A and B are shown apart, each in its own frame.
Chain A
């Protein structure tokens, strides 16, 4: 009975959502045309896209990529500050709205989402090296998440100071099990007795990834944890912590793995050294790929509506949109799980790597 009820609820919600989804689809169709026109001159398969009227790939890439200016919906774009640094001109700051619609401002032009200096003729100036420190969509989202984290955890920490020695209250009691889980199930067993030194970093890491994963699931939000620059930073920080806290055993294991015959050392030592760099690399790619893949799947599902419209008109598009809505809801639920899971895995692996670097007792043989 519950199951049939659940089916009804899902169906009804899908029907309610579907008009929005299809209107969204129509919106994006225009957008698709716009971007397509934008790309028309440069892209090789421009003609092909023109025939189709809508390019799902472009739409997806547009959504998962960083952007100057935060577009919540078509036509509703929040301009963000562009900050540029070049050797000859120094620091330049202006609004990203100046560069909208291929406009050239101060000799700068937005080409494929990147700002390039152009010369008087309008062609790209390859001589000038412009460093782009703009507050892009991702940076704005990053700052937003930083503010969120600071607000949430200053409130939680106040809770601990106010109800000292008492039962937790409110937000504090909501987050305490998660903090305890990270401390007792992830950090403590993997790092061992010296866990307290690394706990602040790992807690920050977990909540940073979690909050940004969840923010990324909101409609119109940035894809921050699915950006390689972000995951690379996190992975590099973990890498630095692991290698700066590595003890004698850790380095000895690198140059002379125990239990390995002498003849195998020329093979094993490079493998071990590659392993040191592979660990953060895998951390970086795992988070980036998981989050980006989730976004791509959801966007592809929504893209089905546009494709249906291109192939069979708005009738078919409206027809399939309930189905797409159901799948999208399902994928969103999976993405919620992934948001938690990836934050957990990143933290777990980071603590395992730190734990193996500071491990005092040296195990005779642990397979890699």
Chain B
């Protein structure tokens, strides 16, 4: 039973030494150790957090860039399309205008030509009438220069009139 009865001396020394170790270690070992561990863990955690944040920012930036690029591309597309449309419209307008102008010029020319022709025809008619009158006059003058011819004519005319 000797083993199971604590000796007062050892008990005393154990209490003294253990408490001394406890106080010395808590002050000079555990405090710096635990705070050092904590500090390092925090710094590692913050480094990880920072890396994660940076990664996210990078991704964000990249997606922003992508978006910007897509926007620019779309804008360019739109601009090109608009320009093409405008150009097409202008060409079509120009063509229409030109066609209309041509038509107008043609019409005008046609009208002028018609007028010219009418005037010409009138002129010709007039000339012809004058000429024929002149000729007729001259012929009449030559035919009816003597009396017999005049009579013959009258007779012919009368004969023709009868026959009718």
Cβ B30 vs Cβ A160 within 8 A? no
Whether, in the assembled complex, B24 has its beta carbon less than 8 Å from a beta carbon of chain A, the answer is yes
Partner of A153, one of B2, B8, B29, B37: B29
Q: Considering the chains assembled together, what is the distance between the CA atoms of A66 and B22 in angstroms?
A: 24
In the assembled complex, B105 has its CB within 8 A of some CB on chain A:
no
List chain A residues, Cβ under 8 A from B9. 83, 131-134, 136, 139
Count, chain B residues at interface, CB 8 A:
35
Residue of A nearest to B31 (CB): A200
Are the CB atoms of B36 and A200 closer together than 8 Å? no
Size of A's binding interface in residues, CB under 8 A: 49
Interface string of A140-160 (1 = CB under 8 A from B): 001100100110011011001
Q: Which B residue's beta carbon lies closest to that of A163?
A: B36
In the complex where A64-B3, A208-B21, A233-B18 touch, is A136 in contact with B30 (Cβ < 8 A)?
Answer: no
Report A48 CB to chain B, min CB distance, Å: 20
Instruction: Say yes or no: is B25 at the interface (Cβ < 8 Å to chain A).
Output: yes
State how many angstroms separate the Cβ of A213 from the closest Cβ of chain B.
Answer: 15
Query: Are A139 and B28 in contact, with the CB atoms below 8 A?
Result: no
Alpha-carbon gap, A112 to B10, bound state (A): 17
Write the A42-61 contact mask toward B (1 if CB under 8 angstroms, else 0): 00000000000000000001
A204 engages B40 (CB within 8 Å): no
Q: State which of A64, A179, A228 has its C-beta within 8 Å of the C-beta of B33.
A: A179
Q: Are B10 and A66 in contact (CB under 8 A)?
A: yes
Complex formed: what's the CA distance from A138 to B4 in Å?
A: 15
Tell me whether chain A's interface is mostly helix, strand or loop, or mixed. helix
Chain B 130-160: CB-based contact to A (< 8 A → 1; otherwise 0): 0000000000000000000000000000000
Interface secondary structure of B, over-half rule:
helix
Q: How distant is B19 from chain A, measured CB to nearest CB, in Å? A: 8
Interface contact A165-B21, CB-CB below 8 Å:
no
Chain A's nearest CB lies how many Å from the CB of B137?
Answer: 139
Contact of B26 with A196 in the complex, beta carbons under 8 Å:
no
Q: How far is the CA of A233 from the CA of B11 in the complex (A)?
A: 7
Known: A65-B3, A165-B43. A146 touches B30 (CB 8 A): no
Q: In the bound complex, what is the Cα–Cα distance between A165 and B55 (angstroms)?
A: 23
A161-B32, A183-B34, A200-B30 known; A150 vs B14 contact (CB < 8 Å): no
A165 touches B39 (CB 8 A): yes
Taking the closest CB of chain A, its distance from the CB of B112, in whole angstroms, is 103
Is the beta-carbon distance between B33 and A292 smaller than 8 angstroms? no
A66, A142, A157 — most chain B CB neighbours (10 Å)? A157
Tell whether, in the assembled complex, residue B8 and residue A132 are in contact, meaning their CB atoms are under 8 Å apart.
yes
User: Which of B20, B30, B37, B39 has its CB near the most chain A CB atoms (within 10 A)?
Assistant: B30
Within the complex, the shortest CB–CB distance from B30 to chain A, in Å, comes to: 4
- A112 proximity list for chain B (CB < 8 A): 2
Binding site for B on A (CB under 8 A): 61, 64-66, 83, 112-113, 131-136, 138-139, 142-143, 146, 149-150, 153-154, 156-157, 160-161, 164-166, 176, 179-180, 183, 196, 199-201, 203-204, 208, 227-230, 232-234, 237, 292
Instruction: Offer 22 A-B interface pairs, CB within 8 angstroms, sorted by A.
Output: A61-B3, A64-B3, A65-B2, A65-B3, A135-B13, A143-B17, A149-B21, A150-B21, A153-B33, A157-B36, A160-B32, A164-B39, A164-B40, A200-B22, A200-B31, A200-B34, A201-B22, A228-B3, A228-B4, A228-B5, A229-B14, A230-B14
